[in-house]
């Protein structure tokens, strides 16, 4: 099954505010900042035209009586964890797909709950709703792809929110759906497929695989397999246990046009990224910097990376490299978003010593700062630049993933 929570953030907020049960409600970022967009809208709000990712002011024009709630990310994470624990009462094979979606394999435990997948899904749906107030939908299939297609394209739209899609009936139910509705197809790919005469999911499924592979390589085979409901990947509990990179990015509260301001943001992000790396006992061999311009109509910015001679998680070293990348590639245009990441990770237990640089002193300074923050809070100790007008560390300390806790 692919089990999906309806309007997850909004549902969590409504569950704790029953007085708004029959009123349109949306979770949105801080209107005073750039994050003033809709993150989630309840079905009542969606019925009035409110949609995810649109600016808050547009939603209020469509629905003047819309209840606006700021996000509480810590609560959403806790409820998501609670829902995962509920599903684990029915099977030990549960794989998070996102904060509000989980794959679950019931092959080995189905006999314990009556052998009827529809009834089992209803049991899970009821238990999640009774314990969290969140309404879950379930797509049932013989593999992950079919369950995902089933949930997104059928279960979310039928009464009861549950549907069992058998492979032999795949194209009977979704074959005539527009190709854009299929998981994995964006607007760009849709245009390419239309030029090839491929309009529906069934059209894609019937296209010769060799034709798609010759045009898009492995990705061509991936979309062909999705259209045909083919997927051999198992539901695994350790899918996300191996981390490929550690990164962080932020959308700035205003356009940053001066180099020193952007340097401050890079410093704040590097501090956070390196601290997370040290907590996980990891170092990175590649430092990446992403900078996005302020004009969406005429995009500017860059994404560049540098391979280090030796892996590190030392804040001043990573920041030095990130700033060097910035000054080399920045075109002087105003900046809206900045991101830094460490990749090609390795264990931090073993590292290269140097005759020419006091690495141990740098590590000691980072360790002291980490200890102070762990004990007294993220803003107990800061670099002086972080308290300038450009600094974001204090504001970020009250957030998770860029949203308020």
Identify whether the C-beta of residue 98 lies closer than 8 Å to the C-beta of residue 4: no
CA atoms within 13 A on the CB side of 50: 30
Known catalytic residue at 78? no
Compute CA distances 58 → 8, 37, 396, whole Å.
21, 9, 26
Q: Which of 13, 101, 263, 272 is catalytic?
A: 101
Q: What is the DSSP string of 266-303?
A: HHHHHHHHHHHHHHTTEEEEEEEEEEEES-SSS--EEE
Q: Which helix (H) or strand (E) holds 138?
A: strand 136-140
> Which DSSP category does 380 fall into?
S
Give the Cα separation of 83 and 385 in Å (integer): 41
Is 100 one of the annotated binding-site residues?
A: yes
The residue written with tokens 């959403």 in the block is 76
Phi and psi at 298, nearest 5°, equal -130, 80
Cβ neighbours around 376 below 10 Å, total? 10
Strand 403-404 with 399-400, pairing: antiparallel
Would you say the C-alpha torsion 260, 264, 270, 275 has a positive or negative sign? positive
Is 4 one of the annotated binding-site residues?
A: yes
Q: Please give the annotated binding residues, written as ranges.
A: 4, 100
**Binding-site residue ranges for Mg(2+):** 4, 100
Catalytic machinery residues: 101
């Amino acid at each position: 099954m692919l089990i999906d929570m309806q309007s997850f953030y909004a549902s969590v907020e409504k569950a704790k505010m029953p007085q708004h049960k029959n009123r349109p409600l949306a979770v949105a970022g801080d209107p005073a900042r750039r994050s003033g967009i809709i993150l989630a809208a309840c079905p009542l709000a969606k019925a009035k035209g409110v949609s995810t990712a649109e600016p808050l002011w547009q939603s209020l024009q469509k629905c003047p009586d819309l209840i606006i709630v700021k996000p509480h990310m810590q609560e959403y994470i806790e409820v998501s964890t609670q829902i995962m624990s509920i599903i684990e009462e029915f099977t030990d094979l549960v794989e998070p797909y996102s904060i509000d979606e989980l794959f679950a394999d019931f092959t080995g435990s189905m006999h314990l709950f009556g052998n009827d997948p529809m009834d089992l899904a209803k049991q899970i749906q009821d238990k999640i709703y009774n314990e969290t107030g969140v309404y879950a939908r379930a797509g049932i299939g013989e593999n992950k792809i079919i369950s995902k297609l089933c949930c997104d394209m059928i279960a979310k739209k039928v009464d009861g929110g549950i549907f069992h899609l058998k492979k032999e009936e795949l194209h009977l139910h979704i074959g005539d759906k527009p190709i854009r509705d299929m998981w994995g197809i964006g607007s760009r790919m849709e245009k390419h497929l239309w030029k090839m005469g491929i309009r529906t999911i069934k059209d894609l499924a019937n296209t010769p695989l060799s034709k798609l592979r010759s045009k898009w390589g492995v990705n061509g085979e991936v979309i062909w397999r999705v259209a045909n409901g083919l997927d051999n990947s198992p539901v695994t509990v350790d899918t996300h246990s191996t981390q490929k990179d550690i990164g962080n990015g932020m959308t700035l509260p205003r356009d940053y046009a001066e180099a020193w301001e952007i340097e401050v943001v890079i410093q704040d992000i590097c501090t956070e990224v390196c601290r997370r790396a040290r907590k996980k006992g990891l170092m990175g061999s590649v430092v990446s910097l992403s900078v996005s311009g302020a004009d969406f109509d005429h995009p500017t910015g860059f994404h560049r990376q540098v391979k280090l001679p030796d892996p590190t998680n030392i804040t001043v070293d990573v920041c030095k490299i990130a700033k060097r990348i910035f000054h080399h590639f920045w075109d002087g245009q105003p900046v809206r978003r900045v991101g830094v990441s460490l990749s090609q990770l390795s264990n931090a237990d073993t590292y290269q010593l140097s005759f020419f640089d006091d690495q141990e002193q740098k590590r000691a300074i980072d360790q002291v700062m980490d200890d102070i923050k762990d004990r007294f809070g993220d803003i107990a100790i800061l670099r002086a630049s972080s308290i300038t007008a450009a600094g974001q560390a204090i504001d970020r300390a009250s957030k998770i993933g860029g949203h308020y806790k």
